[in-house]
Chain A
């Protein structure tokens, strides 16, 4: 099979697409935002409970392609328990990874679970899919109700 495709649709991504983690609604979130990618119809909600500047809980719900769904799923795993400040730093780092601005293999490896998205940089039209959950999380943290990647 084509190696670019293998990079893009890694088993980890396909697994999170099929069995998304933290895929639920948080009934009383401290922060919430709705993310839309009108181009492909991706649509998700990110719910957070932020206590003492930390992500005490984070979950998501919605519809989307394998990339956007798995990205949201992995993001919730990575951010749970982390300081809000670190979440924002990770967002920037993740964005640099998927837009091809991080190429150093060691640096990519150090990103842990997020490293599976390095293949996105070969598919520029899919950057929006991978980053939708992160943009939405960022908007929620900054108390914005909706965000669109258009």
Chain B
């Protein structure tokens, strides 16, 4: 083994040992976020000769070594296909995978693990509902309500459904701060409404929507509600039963877990009456050429070999997040957002996009006469990673009359030094553009 590789392994091992000590400390006292940062190996590198400043966690979070190690462990020692295997490894892998489902169930407080469907990510979660529920229960002239701040993944699947069925898409407008206008929502609801699909926290604006109230209003018309929780579950506690959400979907990779795995929660009575989404292995109980009977929940919706390592990794990511504590994460990130507001809002020529009263740790902005793409490149040269562009929310860009935005987003591992670096880099942008 080359020496360099060996020493790298050693150092990861060391970080892991330290982090195990840390995790046990976390459970008994308030977490020390400077130590938590040590758990994320990707953050500890230089980019173009500068220490990496990662402010793109809304796109994807980095993974703690505790999660990386478990995925590595699975592939080294447990790799096998799950369900129906009689041999040792298959049983071991099945147990790990199903255990992850229970962790997810507890994480969002679902009633049963039968309500937890593993999917590729939030996008597939929405598509599953739009295809399966939509094809069966939404018809010509029916109405689907979304909001002006949806990610494309919670717009396009519904548009496709509308095209297939001749249904109509309705959009809840937002105010200039980027908050839903709830009176308008109430006006949109009517007997023709058959689905409401709303983002819990906006990836572009950071706005946290009053989803409990949205669900209550929809239920007055017996309309099911799907919540896109891609930008929620990593920032604050979500209890699907307290919300009375009918569907709730999120991605693993924004929750400090692997890419390619996500969750669709659905109320059992809804999932039961929905037809399968895809056909294949695992989703059946009996197949003949004349007739097929489908497997029970949640397997009815899980055709084919799933992302086993991903599911397992997500389970451990949830363990990690719970170990730190979502209350503590929420406080830490709120303090960062406060600091960012103080530090950045004073910069002349900077305009924030999204100033909702209730806001998660996203800071989108534009600079006078400088295109966000140019901002992104200059920040990158300074070692600061932000996202620029329309952020998959083109209707929002038009609402705020900007071609694109630059977005800094925070995770549990960020600190005020990161924001100082961002502020300095923004001043550099102005310097380049004179």
B390 x A9 contact (CB < 8 A) = no
Number of A-B contacts (CB under 8 A): 56
Given the interface contacts A40-B389, A41-B397, does A129 sit within 8 Å of B378 by beta carbon?
no
A65 x B381 contact (CB < 8 A) = no
A2 to B404, CA, bound (A): 25
**A35: interface (CB < 8 Å):** no
A64 x B377 contact (CB < 8 A) = no
A65 x B374 contact (CB < 8 A) = yes
B432 x A126 contact (CB < 8 A) = no
Give every chain A residue within 8 A of B433 (Cβ-Cβ).
9, 14, 66
Within 8 A of A (CB), among B196-255: none
Q: Which residue of A lies closest to B431 (CB)?
A: A1
Q: Which residue of A lies closest to B382 (CB)?
A: A2
B374 x A39 contact (CB < 8 A) = no
A69 to B431, CA, bound (A): 19
A8 x B377 contact (CB < 8 A) = yes
A5 to B383, CA, bound (A): 13
Within 8 A of A (CB), among B375-434: 377-378, 381-382, 388-390, 394, 397, 403-404, 428, 431-434
**B373: interface (CB < 8 Å):** yes
A8 to B390, CA, bound (A): 23
B432 x A41 contact (CB < 8 A) = no
B373 x A14 contact (CB < 8 A) = no
Q: Which residue of A lies closest to B371 (CB)?
A: A65
A129 to B377, CA, bound (A): 12
A8 to B404, CA, bound (A): 21
Give every chain A residue within 8 A of B388 (Cβ-Cβ).
40
**B372: interface (CB < 8 Å):** yes
B390 x A1 contact (CB < 8 A) = no
A39 to B428, CA, bound (A): 24
Give every chain B residue within 8 A of A31 (Cβ-Cβ).
none
Give every chain B residue within 8 A of A1 (Cβ-Cβ).
428, 431-432
Closest Cβ–Cβ distance, residue B368 to chain A (whole Å): 12
Given the interface contacts A1-B431, A63-B403, does A40 sit within 8 Å of B372 by beta carbon?
yes
Q: Which residue of A lies closest to B378 (CB)?
A: A5
B432 x A129 contact (CB < 8 A) = no
**A43: interface (CB < 8 Å):** yes
Given the interface contacts A2-B381, A66-B374, A123-B377, does A39 sit within 8 Å of B432 by beta carbon?
no
**A4: interface (CB < 8 Å):** yes
Within 8 A of B (CB), among A1-47: 1-2, 4-5, 8-9, 14, 18, 38-43
**A67: interface (CB < 8 Å):** yes
Give every chain B residue within 8 A of A18 (Cβ-Cβ).
369
A41 x B378 contact (CB < 8 A) = no
B389 x A9 contact (CB < 8 A) = no
Give every chain B residue within 8 A of A38 (Cβ-Cβ).
390
Within 8 A of B (CB), among A56-71: 63-67, 69
Number of chain A residues whose Cβ lies closer than 8 Å to a Cβ of chain B: 24
Closest Cβ–Cβ distance, residue A40 to chain B (whole Å): 4
A73 to B18, CA, bound (A): 56
A64 to B374, CA, bound (A): 10
B403 x A41 contact (CB < 8 A) = yes
A5 to B377, CA, bound (A): 9
A9 to B382, CA, bound (A): 15
B373 x A129 contact (CB < 8 A) = yes
B378 x A66 contact (CB < 8 A) = no
Q: Report B79-107 CB contacts with A as 1/0, cut-off 8 Å.
A: 00000000000000000000000000000
A4 x B381 contact (CB < 8 A) = yes
B381 x A64 contact (CB < 8 A) = no
Q: Report A109-150 CB contacts with B as 1/0, cut-off 8 Å.
A: 000000000000001011001000000000000000000000
Give every chain B residue within 8 A of A2 (Cβ-Cβ).
381-382
Q: Which residue of A lies closest to B434 (CB)?
A: A14
Give every chain B residue within 8 A of A65 (Cβ-Cβ).
371-374
Within 8 A of A (CB), among B356-375: 369-374
Q: Indicate the member of B374, B381, B382, B397 with the most A CB atoms within 10 Å.
A: B374
A41 to B381, CA, bound (A): 21
B432 x A9 contact (CB < 8 A) = yes
Closest Cβ–Cβ distance, residue A45 to chain B (whole Å): 15
A5 to B374, CA, bound (A): 11
A64 to B373, CA, bound (A): 9
Of the residues B373, B428, B431, contact of A40 by C-beta under 8 Å: B373
B403 x A67 contact (CB < 8 A) = no
B381 x A40 contact (CB < 8 A) = no
Give every chain A residue within 8 A of B381 (Cβ-Cβ).
2, 4-5
Give every chain B residue within 8 A of A66 (Cβ-Cβ).
370-371, 374, 433
10 nearest CB pairs, A to B: A65-B371, A65-B373, A41-B404, A40-B373, A41-B403, A63-B403, A66-B374, A65-B374, A40-B389, A9-B432
B residues bordering A, Cβ < 8 Å? 369-374, 377-378, 381-382, 388-390, 394, 397, 403-404, 428, 431-434
- 18 residue pairs bridging A and B, Cβ less than 8 Å apart: A1-B431, A1-B432, A5-B381, A18-B369, A38-B390, A39-B389, A40-B372, A40-B373, A40-B389, A41-B390, A41-B397, A41-B403, A42-B403, A43-B403, A63-B403, A66-B370, A66-B374, A67-B373
Extra contacts, 9 of them, besides A41-B394, A67-B373, A69-B371 (Cβ < 8 A), are A1-B428, A4-B381, A41-B397, A41-B404, A42-B373, A63-B403, A65-B371, A66-B433, A126-B377
